[in-house]
Chain A
């Protein structure tokens, strides 16, 4: 069964940093784009970042560009999101998901990890 499991969420002060991880299993990780999507409490879905199969292409939402970095370790079937200069508005559940906008869609989602930015 395909699995993506997020970890690394928690409470962080404004201006702080956090690194999210996503462990993928039961599929050929190197065949897929991977995507981060977030959802603020009571709000809708928001694209954060995605990365292509070999990590050579990365895309970011305007709201996080320059502060967040997406990366992947294909040897360990892992996806990461390094989040710096965190703001209160970054508070959300962060979902790791397999796939991309476009061909194939984002076809499998993790349960998410909650990031709370507050003093």
Chain B
């Protein structure tokens, strides 16, 4: 049982938009930055979004992050087959004094 709650899977057609939710509480998402990671099969995770809504160099603006209260959302527009991967949200939990991840969401581009 992960501290942060994500849907196990989402799917959409190429070119469409999808959002992935990440629900937490005040001790984690509510009062800390959120980051998002993409993990392609058999590879290491890759940073997509940091500090809730910032993109590292090289990450296209098709990827966006936002937060409202104790929930965060990753948005992906213009879906491509290469976006098929597992996506994880993460943040610091001040009550646990440790990092926490969501359980991961498998994105399928139909």
Interface residues of A (CB under 8 A from B): 35, 37, 44-47, 50, 59-62, 95, 97, 99-112
Docked complex Cα distance between A102 and B104 (Å): 19
A73 shortest CB reach to chain B, Å: 22
Partner of B101, one of A46, A107, A110: A46
Pairs A-B, 4 closest by C-beta atoms: A105-B50, A47-B99, A105-B35, A109-B44
Q: Does B110 contact A (CB under 8 A)?
A: no
Q: A95 to B35, Cβ gap below 8 A?
A: no
Which residues of B are at the interface with A, using a C-beta cutoff of 8 A? 2, 32-33, 35, 37, 39, 43-47, 49-51, 56, 86, 88, 90-92, 96-104
Q: A100 vs B98: C-alpha distance in the bound complex, in angstroms?
A: 10
Which of the residues B49, B88, B92, B96 comes within 8 Å of A45, measured between beta carbons? B88
- Asked if A107 and B50 make an inter-chain contact with CB atoms under 8 angstroms apart, the answer reads yes
Q: How far is the CB of B34 from chain A (nearest CB, A)?
A: 9
B50-A45 in contact (CB<8A): no
Counting chain B CB atoms within 10 Å of each CB, the highest count among A100, A101, A103 belongs to: A101
Bound together, the chains give a CA A28 to CA B90 distance in angstroms of 25
CB-defined A-B contacts under 8 Å, sample of 7: A44-B103, A45-B88, A95-B44, A101-B32, A102-B33, A107-B50, A111-B44
